[in-house]
Amino acid sequence: MRLLTRISDVQRALDKEREAGRRVGFVPTMGFLHEGHASLMRRARAENDVVAVSIFVNPLQFAANEDLEAYPRDLDSDLSLCESEGVDIVFHPNVGEMYPEPNPFTVTVGEVGSKLCGRTRPGHFDGVATVVAKLFNIAGPCRAYFGRKDAQQLVIIERLARALNFPVSARRSGGFDRDRREGCSADRKPDGIADILRAAREARLRGGRRRRDVGGPRPARPAGSSRGRGVGRQGTTDRQHDGDPGGAPSEGSS
| DSSP assigned state of 112 | G
End-to-end CA distance of the chain: 26
Mean pLDDT in the chain? 76
pLDDT digits (tens, 9 = 90+) for 74-107: 999 999 999 999 999 999 999 999 999 989 999 9
Give pLDDT, residue 111: 84
Dihedral angle over CA of 217, 221, 223, 229, nearest 10:
-130
pLDDT digits (tens, 9 = 90+) for 180-229: 455 554 444 433 333 444 554 444 444 444 444 444 444 444 444 434 34
pLDDT exceeds 80 at position 43: yes
C-alpha distance from residue 203 to each of 34, 41, 197, 210, 252 (Å): 15, 25, 10, 5, 16
Query: Does residue 37 have an active-site annotation?
Result: yes
pLDDT exceeds 80 at position 176: no
Give pLDDT, residue 253: 35
Predicted confidence band of residue 149 (pLDDT cuts 50, 70, 90): confident
Identify the residue with better confidence: 207 or 111. Answer: 111
Residues 135 and 54 sit within 8 Å (Cβ to Cβ): yes
Mean pLDDT of 108-126: 85
Residues in the chain: 254
Mean pLDDT is lowest, of 63-77, 155-169, 209-223, for 209-223
Mean pLDDT of 160-188: 58
Q: Of 37, 92, 124, 241, which one is the catalytic site residue?
A: 37
Residue ranges and CATH numbers for the domains of the chain are 2-242 (3.40.50.620)
Identify the residue with better confidence: 245 or 31. Answer: 31
C-alpha dihedral sign at 186, 187, 192, 193: negative
Give pLDDT, residue 119: 79
Predicted confidence band of residue 67 (pLDDT cuts 50, 70, 90): confident
Mean pLDDT is lowest, of 7-21, 29-43, 186-200, for 186-200
Distance CA 140, CA 138 (A): 6
Give pLDDT, residue 14: 98
pLDDT exceeds 50 at position 45: yes
